[in-house]
């Protein structure tokens, strides 16, 4: 077994047993998902999709929750290079690398070729997280996402540009040797199986009210904005995993069809 979103990170035999035992003991459905034009059979921990969540990242004043997203595709590199000035204004990534001794040509080549858009020796040493993570006025944003929104792009175009893991975070997807996917929303009952963190305020109402979160986010998150994970991520999951997947999950949970909710995704700041 491997973690699908984590660069196919291998899972130990012991953890593999625990994953299988977990899925033997929770309510599951079997469905089909289509990721990047490839169809997989999937076993889904159905009740985990009821977890109340609120992915209002553009209103969340914490840094991007993803430290380094493994890889950027050709489209993301192209849009950054076409908007290099804005990318630098937002992230200071170009200016910082120049201060570190790189020429503009070397920086451009790195954006074109390096996994994290910067030379490997600067990953973690110069930047503690993805160079697209930035602060704009009073918000912590993804510069790549903001540049796309400012260009008037639709949700689907933005998903195609951003690293896949960023769009689907923190959903956990595990791939086994038979190309079967195990899919679950990380939560307190299963977080020992996940690499993605569920201890984040948008996945935990109590945490969003904590003094720690309120110190950084004085406005906090409104309780009424929390919806079952399948609902708050409806449009994103429909686009990435396919209509059959969201229909099967919603029907099985007897939820009304969630409306497409792209407003949190396309917010202009
Ligand atoms: S805590 Fe949640 S809402 Fe805030 S940045 Fe992370 S994923 Fe987004
Ligand atoms: S590309 Fe954006 S969402 Fe993804 S890790 Fe970087 S800052 Fe976060």
Most confident of 124-138, 203-217, 254-268: 124-138
Question: 79 and 138: one domain?
Answer: yes
pLDDT at 263 over 80: no
In a domain, 163, yes or no: no
Q: Which residue has the higher pLDDT, 244 or 197?
A: 244
SS3 of the chain: the string is: CEECCCCCEECCHHHHHHHHHHHHHCCEEEEEEEECCEEEEEEEEHHHHHCEECCCHHHCCCCCCCCCCCCCCHHHHHHHHHCHHHHHHHHCHHHHHHHCCCCHHHHHHHHHHCCCCCCHHHECCCECCCCCEEEECCEEEEHHHHHHHHCCCCHHHHHHHCCHHHHHCCCEEEECCCCEEEEECCCCCCHHHCCCCCCCHHHCHHHHCCHHHHHHCCCCCCHHHCEEHHHHCHHHHHHHHCHHHHHHHHHHCCCCCCCCCCCCCCCCC
Query: Which of 88, 118, 151 is the last residue before a domain boundary?
Result: 151
Q: Do residues 117 and 77 touch, judged by C-beta distance below 8 A?
A: yes
Question: 22 and 74: one domain?
Answer: no
From the list 189, 174, 139, 170, the residue with the least C-alpha distance to 26 is 189
Can you tell me the distance from the alpha carbon of 82 to that of 138, in angstroms, rounded to the nearest whole number?
A: 25
Domain count of the chain?
Answer: 2
Residue 245 Cα distances to 64, 113, 220, 242, angstroms: 27, 34, 32, 6
To test ligand 2's pocket by mutation, which of 144, 155, 164, 265 has the most ligand atoms within 8 angstroms of CB?
144
Question: 214 and 248: one domain?
Answer: yes
Tens digits of residue pLDDT in 86-99: 999 999 999 999 99
pLDDT band at residue 181 using 50, 70 and 90 as cut-offs: very high
221: left (phi over 0), alpha (psi -120 to 50) or beta: beta
Can you tell me the distance from the alpha carbon of 165 to that of 116, in angstroms, rounded to the nearest whole number?
A: 14
Q: What is the mean pLDDT of residues 117-133?
A: 95
Question: 139 and 176: one domain?
Answer: no
In a domain, 196, yes or no: yes
Q: Count the neighbouring beta carbons within 10 Å of the beta carbon of residue 178.
A: 7
Q: What is the mean pLDDT of residues 246-252?
A: 95
Question: 181 and 221: one domain?
Answer: yes
Q: Which residue has the higher pLDDT, 107 or 62?
A: 107
From the list 147, 131, 137, 133, the residue with the least C-alpha distance to 85 is 147
Instruction: Find the 177 Cα to ligand 1 centroid distance in Å.
Output: 32
Q: Do residues 52 and 233 touch, judged by C-beta distance below 8 A?
A: no
| CA–CA–CA angle 254, 5, 43 (5° rounding) | 35
Question: 102 and 123: one domain?
Answer: yes
To test ligand 2's pocket by mutation, which of 56, 66, 155, 269 has the most ligand atoms within 8 angstroms of CB?
66
What's residue 261's pLDDT?
A: 60
In a domain, 267, yes or no: no
Question: 123 and 106: one domain?
Answer: yes
**Mean predicted lDDT score pLDDT of the chain:** 92
In a domain, 161, yes or no: no
Task: Looking at the CA of residue 55, tell me the nearest atom of ligand 1.
Answer: 3
In a domain, 178, yes or no: yes
Tens digits of residue pLDDT in 36-58: 889 999 999 999 999 999 988 88
Protein residue with its CA nearest to atom 2 in ligand 2: 142
Can you tell me the distance from the alpha carbon of 209 to that of 172, in angstroms, rounded to the nearest whole number?
A: 25
Task: Looking at the CA of residue 65, tell me the nearest atom of ligand 1.
Answer: 6
Question: 87 and 146: one domain?
Answer: yes
In a domain, 156, yes or no: no
pTM here?
Answer: 0.91
Question: 176 and 213: one domain?
Answer: yes
In a domain, 234, yes or no: yes
- Ligand 2 cavity residues, CB under 6 Å: 64, 66, 69, 130, 132-133, 142, 144-145, 162-163, 166
83, two tokens: 């908007």
Q: What percent of the chain has pLDDT over 90?
A: 72
Q: Which residue has the higher pLDDT, 114 or 200?
A: 114
In a domain, 259, yes or no: no
Least confident of 73-77, 110-114, 259-263: 259-263
63, two tokens: 């840094």
Instruction: Find the 106 Cα to ligand 1 centroid distance in Å.
Output: 33
pLDDT at 159 over 70: yes
Q: Which residues constitute the domain of residue 129?
A: 66-151
pLDDT at 143 over 70: yes
Question: 75 and 137: one domain?
Answer: yes
Question: 51 and 93: one domain?
Answer: no
Q: Which residue has the higher pLDDT, 259 or 185?
A: 185
Closest ligand, as measured to the CA of 225: 1
Question: 139 and 213: one domain?
Answer: no
């Amino acid at each position: 077994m491997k973690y699908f979103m984590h660069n196919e990170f291998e899972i130990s035999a012991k953890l593999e047993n625990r994953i299988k035992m977990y899925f033997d003991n929770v309510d599951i459905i079997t469905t089909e998902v289509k990721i990047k034009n490839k169809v997989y059979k999937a076993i889904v921990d159905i009740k985990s999709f009821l977890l109340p969540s609120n992915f209002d990242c553009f209103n969340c004043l914490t840094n991007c929750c993803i430290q380094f997203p493994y890889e950027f595709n050709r489209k993301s590199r192209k849009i950054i290079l076409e908007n290099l000035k804005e990318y630098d204004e937002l992230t200071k990534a170009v200016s910082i690398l120049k201060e570190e001794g790189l020429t503009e040509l070397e920086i451009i080549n790195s954006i074109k070729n390096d996994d994290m858009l910067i030379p490997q020796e600067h990953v973690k040493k110069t930047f503690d997280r993805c160079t697209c993570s930035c602060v704009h006025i009073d918000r912590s944003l993804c510069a790549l996402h903001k540049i796309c929104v400012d260009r008037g792009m639709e949700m689907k175009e933005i998903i195609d540009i951003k690293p896949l893991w960023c769009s689907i975070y923190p959903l956990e997807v595990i791939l086994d040797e038979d190309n079967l996917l195990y899919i679950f929303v990380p939560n307190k009952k299963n977080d020992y199986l996940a690499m993605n963190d569920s201890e984040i305020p948008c996945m935990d109402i109590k945490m969003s009210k904590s003094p720690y979160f309120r110190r950084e986010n004085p406005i906090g998150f409104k309780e009424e904005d929390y919806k079952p994970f399948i609902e708050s991520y409806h449009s994103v999951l429909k686009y990435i995993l396919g209509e059959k997947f969201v229909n099967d999950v919603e029907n099985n949970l007897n939820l009304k069809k969630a409306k497409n909710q792209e407003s949190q995704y396309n917010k202009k700041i």
